[in-house]
Amino acid sequence: MDHLYLVSPIPPSVNHYLGYRAIMKNGKPVVMSYKTTKAAKFQQDFAKYVRQEVINQNWTLIPDKQQHFYADCTFYFDRIDKDSDNCFKVLWDSITSTKLVWLDDNVVCERVNRIYYDSQNPRIEIDIYPVDYIGIFDNMSQLKEFENNCVGCSRYSRNCSILNKAKQGRIQKEIKDGVCVVRK
């Protein structure tokens, strides 16, 4: 299955994710951050739910560092003074901690589709699925076409850094209009 549908309670906002306390280090006061009890509990409970949903929904994609994901979200807040942007940190950290959907939340392209208000059942409905693009390429077909042009190049047989960076999404002067200009 290439879609994972999750329903989350409203997580602690980023404003309540970390707490701070002063400690003495080498005779000087230093501010230290820590994850709040509320955030840690949410993360633990939601990660458990995600693990179960991965099994229930037969999520078969194996996480890797380069695959990016859309996370289409519909918010149902209990009050109108809430901010959707403040919810993502603890939510994505919870999913990341499972290592079952993605390895790092730097691959998440969150999209807020709607915001509603439901005081009886506040929640976030999340539809997670892989993006079509791969690095700088719009789709797998475009990547294959580019890579086919690499095959005769001496750099290709040596694990070409230009190709690898392009797959990571890095913009490079060596690639102009979708063509590698360094071909050897």
Q: pLDDT truncated to tens, each residue of the chain (184 aa)?
A: 699 999 999 999 888 777 788 888 898 888 888 788 899 999 999 999 999 999 999 999 999 888 999 999 999 999 999 999 999 999 999 999 999 999 999 999 999 999 999 999 999 999 999 999 999 999 989 999 998 888 888 888 778 899 999 999 999 999 888 888 886 6
Specify the DSSP class assigned to residue 61. Answer: P
Element (H, E) at 21: strand 18-25
Which numeric CATH code is attached to 4-20+30-130? 3.30.1330.70
d(CA 169, CA 163): 10
Sequence ranges of the domains in the chain: 4-20+30-130, 140-180
Task: Tally Cβ neighbours within 10 Å of residue 12.
Answer: 22
